Each structure stands twice: as C-alpha cells, then as structure tokens.
C-alpha cells in the first residue's frame, strides 16, 4: 500500500528538491567553476580556465598566516566553549525546578538574537571607554585602557559568547538521554560523586561533546560578522579575507579559490578529528 501511495505522492518532495538542488547544490558547484576561471581586469573573469589562483594561495605566506590565526582562534573558541558549556548543560539536565524553563530561555535566546546585535554588544563591552576598561579604570587597576577591540583576543571572546549555546544544546540533549539510574548505581556502589561523574556520566556524554565541538569549530572558522566588526586588520580571519576579495577588490575567481581552500582545510581537520575521536570512543567500556 505504501509503495502504491509513494508513486502518487512523489510530487510532495519536488518543490524542496528543486530548491535544494537548484539553489544549493548547483551554486556550490559554481564556486568550484569560478575558482578555475582566469582573472580579468575589465570583466568578472576572463576566457579559459586555470589553476593559478590555487598555486598563488598555497605559496602565499600572508594567506598561511591568516589561516593559522583562524585555526588558532577556532581551536581556542572550541575548547573554551566546551569548558563553559559542559557545566551549564549538566546543570540544566539535572534541574527539576520551575527555573529550568527560564534558564533554558537564557541559553537559547542569545542564539536567536542576530549575530550583528550580539557582536555590537561586544563592541560596547570591549571598546577603549567600554564596560571592561571603564570598570578596571574606576577600580584603579589600570590607567590607560587595555586594547581589546581590533585584536584577535577581542574576536575570540565575542565568538565564545556567540557560539556557547551551540555546545550547550547538543550536550543537553545527550545528558538528558543518559539514564539517572546509571549514576545512582555508581553512587550506591560506593563511588564518590566525582568518580561517578568521571567514570559514568562523562564517558557517556562523549558523543555530545564530539558533536558540539565540530559544530562550534566549523561555525567559528567560517564566522564572518564577528571578526569583520571586531577584528580590524590584526584580527582578520579567512572569511573576512574572502569577502574582501569578492566585495572590495572584486577578484571573484581568486576569492572562489580562497573559499575552496578554506573549506578543504576545515574538512581535512574534521576528518582527522573524527578518526581520532572514533578511536578514542571505541576504547570506552
């Protein structure tokens, strides 16, 4: 019966397929095509195809410097969001009071407030006469403001805030699915609470940690708004550079090659990470 119905209802999936294939899959192919086109000063691109943009990118130490900075920032953001997000997810998963739903809103609403707004908030906090410098000055701890805006440190702090909910939510789902009986069993067998956590809860939540880490790493590597608004030239990342190629200097083929290069590096890191974590998780009891 289902097979017969399936033949009659196939049209239901057609609009979505048209949308996703026609306006997502094919456009991604067009980045690859664009990256192989030749540059031209009078038109968007010239005649014929070339690999020269890739050759220029991989031999350019300036670009490798920005790649290195982006990766370092992505790694820092991932580690810190995991360290800050885990306690919150653990707290929310074990909370049985009327506060739970309000705290859940606390976690989820930063996610729904636009990136520009959240980054703007950090401009106010980090600027030379902003909240942090103002507080430190009135406490008499500093005389001249600490430079936070237009530095990699400022971008990193803001990115941690922006992406923190993205580790909390997968971890929360994961921790809620772990039966509380398991921890109770550990406790009743005489294990201390710390030991129960380290031996039972933490290993069982590794899939949540793995998922959250990938999500945040990819998001922070590819973030544009925050480094563009807070980074200046010293905090410039790969995405910012790509958009500069496309919008400011109008070098579409080179920009496309840079975008592909950046995706390839990200993908390679994810593959290695998945291999390593899969091996580590298999060793678990």
Partner 1 sequence: MNGRKTVWDHLFTLLVTAIYLFLMSPILLVVILSFNAGEFLSLPIEGMSLRWFVALFHNTRFLDATLHSLLLAAVAAVVNGVIGTLAAIYVVRFAGPRLANPLRLLMSAPLLVPEILTAIALLFYFFELGVGNNYGLAIQVGHIIVTFPYVFLNVSSALFNFDRSQEEAARSLGAGGWMTFRRVTLPAVKPGLITGCLFAFVISFDIFNISLLLKSVGMNTLPLELFDYLRFNFDPTAAAIATVSIGVTFVAVVIVDRTVGLRSLRF
Closest separation in Å from C-beta 283 to partner 1? 28
Cα angle 6-9-12, degrees, rounded to a multiple of 5: 125
Which is closer to partner 1, CB of 19 or CB of 280? Answer: 19
Nearer to partner 1, 32 or 280 (CB): 32
Shortest CB 176 distance to partner 1, Å: 10
Question: How many helices (H) does the chain have, and how many strands (E)?
Answer: 16, 0
Cβ proximity to partner 1: between 61 and 139 the closer is 139
Q: How far is the CB of 153 from partner 1 (least distance, A)?
A: 16
Instruction: Judge whether 100 and 92 are in contact, CB under 8 Å.
Output: yes
Query: How far apart are the C-alpha atoms of 250 and 140, rounded to whole Å?
Result: 48
Give whichever of 110 and 207 is closer to partner 1, judged by the CB atom: 110
Work out how close the CB of 87 gets to partner 1 at its nearest, in angstroms, rounded to a whole number: 5
CB closer to partner 1, 17 vs 281:
17
Q: In the block, which residue shows the tokens 């031999």?
A: 59
Complete DSSP assignment for 41-84: SSSSS-SSB-SHHHHHHHT-HHHHHHHHHHHHHHHHHHHHHHHH
DSSP 146: P
- 254 CB-contact burial (10 Å; exposed 0-12 / middle 13-18 / buried 19+): buried
Closest CB to partner 1 among 152 and 160?
160
State the nearest-atom distance from the C-beta of 280 to partner 1, in Å: 23
Handedness of CA 149, 155, 156, 161 (dihedral sign): positive
> Considering the complex, what minimum distance in angstroms separates the CB of residue 34 from partner 1?
5
Q: Quick one: which of 212, 207, 186 has its CA closest to 77?
A: 212
């Amino acid at each position: 019966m289902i097979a017969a119905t399936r033949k009659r209802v196939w049209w239901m999936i057609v609009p979505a397929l048209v949308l996703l294939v026609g306006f997502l899959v094919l456009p991604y192919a067009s980045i690859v095509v664009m990256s192989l086109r030749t540059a031209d000063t009078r038109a968007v691109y010239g005649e014929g195809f070339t690999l020269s943009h890739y050759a220029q990118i991989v031999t350019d130490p300036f670009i490798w410097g920005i790649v290195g900075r982006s990766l370092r920032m992505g790694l820092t953001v991932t580690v810190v969001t995991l360290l800050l997000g885990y306690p919150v997810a653990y707290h929310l998963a074990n909370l049985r009071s009327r506060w739970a739903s309000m705290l859940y809103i606390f976690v989820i609403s930063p996610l729904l407030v636009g990136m520009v707004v959240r980054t703007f908030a950090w401009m106010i906090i980090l600027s030379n006469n902003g909240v942090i410098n103002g507080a430190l000055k009135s406490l008499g701890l500093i005389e001249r403001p600490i430079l936070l805006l237009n530095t990699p440190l400022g971008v990193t702090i803001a990115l941690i805030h922006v992406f923190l909910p993205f580790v909390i939510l997968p971890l929360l789902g994961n921790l809620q699915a772990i039966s509380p009986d398991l921890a109770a069993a550990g406790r009743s067998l005489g294990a201390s609470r710390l030991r129960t956590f380290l031996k039972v809860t933490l290993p069982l939540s590794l899939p949540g940690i793995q998922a959250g880490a990938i999500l945040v790493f990819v998001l922070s590597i590819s973030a544009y708004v925050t480094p563009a608004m807070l980074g200046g030239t010293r905090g410039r990342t790969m995405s910012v550079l790509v958009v500069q190629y496309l919008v400011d200097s109008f070098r579409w083929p080179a920009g496309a090659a840079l975008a592909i290069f950046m995706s390839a590096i990200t993908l390679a890191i994810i593959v290695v990470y998945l291999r390593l974590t899969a091996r580590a998780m298999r060793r678990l009891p």
